[in-house]
Chains A and B, each alone.
Chain A
Amino acid sequence: MFDVDSVYRDFCDDLPEAVRQTARTLAFRLEIAPEGVAWSRAFPYEFTLAAPRLVADGIRFLPSEAVRAALLAHILAVVEATALTRLASGRISMTPELCKVLGYVRMARDGVWVAVEASMPEACFDFAFDRFEQALAIERYILEGLQPADFALYDRLSVAKQSVMLPASSMIVLQAGWPPDKRQSLRQLLTAVACGLQVFEDVVDWEDNHVRQGAWPFVLYTALASEAEAYGTRATGSERARVLDSGVLAVLLQRAHQHFAKARRLAGSLGLCCLERWTSAQAVALRDLCQAESEYAGYAVRATALRVWAEEVLT
């Protein structure tokens, strides 16, 4: 089967020389990974870039070129979405080189569109990116404190932000002749995994995000704090203390656990055994982490900070 790095490398090799090096070092330029680290190692989870291949692994008799094309389209969609997120948060600035590369990324992604009916929005990247960019814009307002939010809005925006994860895998199962209800289950599965990972990242990265561009736990803790005040308790102290005292991190980890539990059930029903095993393991890990966070507020952030040390020294 095709791997993320070779597919992306082939894409770069086909680009004009003037933009090739920028494309090859894009993970570094977007501040996703240190220089020299390939895309396959840039994100913490294989799922993020390789989802279509993980889906295809569980389906027989798929034309290999269709899988490769879908994988390339997906990689380029994730790269573009990542760039847009970084730009929206001010983490990076648009440059002429980056603008040109993103233009080629978009063109190449649209170029691998396989023959799907125009009435299939599920496989339409334009539709997905419209949803994604709308969600990103609303999220910006919320994180900058210009608009309030509650858990319901957080959930809706999380789902919308994962839109770009769906079209390429939808292409694959359309090619495989899956009926509409099965394709819908797949979209729910991919959305659940992506949301579970997003919520987990929103928890463990919240302190850094709060300093840079705003953090969801800080927005959402007030919803819990309001409930607590109604019962006579009150969080005091610094912003971090208020977030930790509110228990919002444990609430979010519980949601992440629920996403993965749902994903496990769906993967099982679709016969995607590898995804079923992986989502099951994540659901268990998140359940345990949620419990630890409930007992020791801030546990998830500290455990993330100490994780590499623990793996190198204690195992």
Chain B
Amino acid sequence: MKHAAKSLSYRDPNTELRALYMDLLRNQSHFDEFHHLLALYHPSEVNEIGEETDRAREVRCRLNDRIREWLAMDVEGLTCCQVLQWRAIVVEDRFGTNRPSVRKSVF
């Protein structure tokens, strides 16, 4: 019964992403490792329909394992698209495009 309840438990992806976001805000070492693993995940190793090379899948699995350890939660983990989205913003920030063009507030 417990096992069934666990397998049917509702996962709120937004809650998991928010938990990851807060953890990265508060922990420099987690943020550094997150940045490093994102940088290892090359966009050229993922096609338009989300099929990854073995190497890319290994990097993503390692990333998701670390996220579960940091959050001490059995989270769903990041999909290929989510990893690429994080990478584009956090790793590939050439002109400061991680900031909106015009901000209303410093924060």
Write the residues of chain A forming the contact surface with B, with a CB cutoff of 8 angstroms.
31-34, 37, 40-46, 197, 200, 244, 256, 278, 281-282, 285-286, 288-289, 292, 295-299, 302-311, 313-314
Q: Choose one: B28, B31, B99, B101; the contact of A307 (CB below 8 Å).
A: B99
> In the complex the two chains form, what is the Cα distance from A256 to B106 in whole Å?
10
A-B contact pairs, 6 of them (CB 8 A): A44-B103, A45-B106, A286-B107, A289-B106, A307-B99, A308-B99
Q: A305-B90, A308-B99, A313-B17 are in contact. Are A197 and B107 (CB under 8 A)?
A: no
For A44, list chain B residues within 8 Å (CB).
96, 99-103
The answer to whether B106 and A285 have CB atoms under 8 Å apart is yes
For B95, list chain A residues within 8 Å (CB).
31-34
Q: Which of A33, A37, A311, A313 has the most CB of B within 10 A?
A: A313
Would you call the interface of chain A mostly helix, strand, loop, or mixed?
A: helix
Q: Choose one: A296, A309, A314; the contact of B14 (CB below 8 Å).
A: A314
For A197, list chain B residues within 8 Å (CB).
106
Q: A33-B95, A282-B105 are in contact. Are A311 and B100 (CB under 8 A)?
A: yes
> In the complex the two chains form, what is the Cα distance from A200 to B27 in whole Å?
21
The answer to whether B102 and A46 have CB atoms under 8 Å apart is yes
For A256, list chain B residues within 8 Å (CB).
106
Write the residues of chain B forming the contact surface with A, with a CB cutoff of 8 angstroms.
14, 17-18, 21, 24-28, 31, 85-86, 89-90, 93-107
Q: A296-B25, A305-B90, A314-B21 are in contact. Are A200 and B100 (CB under 8 A)?
A: no
The answer to whether A303 and B25 have CB atoms under 8 Å apart is yes
For A34, list chain B residues within 8 Å (CB).
94-95, 97
Q: Closest residue to B14 on the A side, CB-wise? A: A314
For A285, list chain B residues within 8 Å (CB).
105-107
Closest Cβ of chain A to B16, distance in Å, is 11
The answer to whether B28 and A297 have CB atoms under 8 Å apart is yes
> In the complex the two chains form, what is the Cα distance from A302 to B22 in whole Å?
10
Top 8 nearest A-B pairs (CB, nearest first) are A41-B101, A285-B107, A296-B26, A298-B28, A309-B89, A308-B98, A44-B103, A34-B95
> In the complex the two chains form, what is the Cα distance from A200 to B18 in whole Å?
25
The answer to whether A308 and B89 have CB atoms under 8 Å apart is yes
> In the complex the two chains form, what is the Cα distance from A302 to B93 in whole Å?
13
For B85, list chain A residues within 8 Å (CB).
309, 313
